[in-house]
Amino acid sequence: MEIMKATPDVQLPSPFTGTGTIKNPATGSIAGEVRWTDPADVSHLAAGLRTAQKEWEARGPKGRAKVLARYAVWLGEHRAEIEKLLIAETGKSAVDAAQEVPLIIMITSYYIKTMEKALAPESRPASLPFLAIKKITVHYRPRPVTGIIAPWNYPVANALMDAIAALAAGSAVLLKPSERTPLTAELLLRGWLDSGAPEVLALAQGAREVSEAVIDNSDFVQFTGSSATGVKVMERAARRLTPVSLELGGKDPMIVLEDADIELAAHAAVWGAMFNAGQTCVSVERVYVLESVYDQFVAAVVRAVEKLRTGAGEGHEFGALIDESQVAVTERHVRDALAAGATALTGGERPAGSGNFYPPTVLVDVDHSMACMTEETFGPTLPIMKVASVDEAIRLANDSEYGLSAAVFSRDVEHAKAVAVQLDCGAVNINDVISNLMCTTAPMGGWKTSGMGVRFGGAEGLRKYCKQEVVVAPRTNLGAGGNYYNNSLKTLNRMNAIMTKLALIGPRRSAK
């Protein structure tokens, strides 16, 4: 959600009116044209969705599951077309582009199988015996319109992992893709309609003004992006007390213990740091290695990085960054680290030529005085720091404003688990990186400035799009009205004395 800047005396025309041209960041070639949404039209889009949502909710989980199944089939059949467009508007390598559609099909498949149970009314037991005359049921009612503001780094995955869950829950979805990558969303919407789905998914194309309109016209907002912008989203939503779920920035640590499989850890670090040119919220952004295996680990990392082939599309593992601003952040972090005494063992300088490329850069001799170890880079850097003990590694890993995910490598899995539960973050992968994203049964979310709420996964990933409605029904008329005003004071006092005595049974036992 970019903010356009202008001088106080000059009003610059918005580039997000009419139509816009989207260019490939790797080559500069035109990827396609997009028609920007007038912010004033967003309320009409939301109103249409609100009307269509009633019938969508009425289909129930089984009916919605059939529609989602058809959409998953469409995604699989059009995977090549989607990936071609992904590469054209993001500059991704073919290796990076190939992973988005399978992930979404996997998430959709999981929800198709589990949504009926997750959304079923839930009976709750009475807290005390005398309340057993009541039948308590919790119902999960979908919020009519969910606004999703998605980022540019994964135009398929980051849009649909939220949209699929919201649609499964029975909500209609108003999707605002990034203004940097709007084209893939158009194709995804076409597929939704071509697969015979109802018009409960709509797009709002644009930048800040459109994002604000989406927030103002939604009943729930899912935002994925930077921590700074997440604060602005939350502030805007607070005007109408609209609930939000935020998946924000990360500076994910990786800890390599003395007994780790070094080759495995090195390849994991390289993939975790360089996948999608480092433009991943859960990418490996800093590594702490025990000194006894530090040299061995660094050498293995350098060997792995030197094998990466740079370029967009087929035949490459490592693609372009999205634009010049992202290159600039990476350049600043590397430049400042080198000036402060760090060493670049690979990369370290932007190559001459066209395209928003920055080479995979391995940095050593780093510490927490450097931005490359404390600020989110969202670029292809891998800073590695030597530590003297596990306690030091844990302390440094937690020395961050972020808390999205982390990784621990050790042949002793139980020891790794003991380290994992001391890390302040939403998920920890042991002897792997990023794999928690594929664990669809578990919720994904961040701590600290990495977000609030859960992103997707498990029943939590569906129920977040619902309001809870409690229905309390009588099992019998016996005891009804026992505390009404029409009873005598003597009767009321007797009833309250009995209630107090029964309620104290549990506390008296626990207090012993």
Annotated catalytic residues are 247
Rg over alpha carbons for the chain, rounded to the nearest Å, is: 26
Phi, psi of 473 (to 5 degrees): -120, 150
Place of tokens 């030529």: 353
Residues ≥6 apart with Cβ < 8 Å to 221: 146, 147, 148, 149, 214, 215, 233, 237, 242, 243, 244, 245
3-state SS, one letter per residue, for 80-100: HHHHHHHHHHHCCEHHHHCCH
Phi, psi of 247 (to 5 degrees): -115, 110
**Could you tell me where the DSSP H helices lie in 120-261?**
157-169, 183-194, 208-216, 227-238
Q: Per residue in 174-189, is it b (16+ CB within 10 Å) or e — as a string?
A: bbbbbbbbbbbbbbbb
Task: Give the residue among 151, 148, 156, 220 at the shortest CA–CA distance from 188.
Answer: 156
How far apart CA 414 and CA 397 sit, in angstroms, is 19
Please say whether the beta carbons of 423 and 397 come within 8 A: yes
How far apart CA 323 and CA 89 sit, in angstroms, is 11
Task: Give the residue among 378, 418, 425, 433 at the shortest CA–CA distance from 399.
Answer: 425
Q: Parallel, antiparallel, or unpaired for β 220-224 and 244-247?
A: parallel
Please say whether the beta carbons of 356 and 326 come within 8 A: yes
Tokens of 475: 């099992």
Residue 135: in which H helix or E strand, if any? Answer: strand 134-142
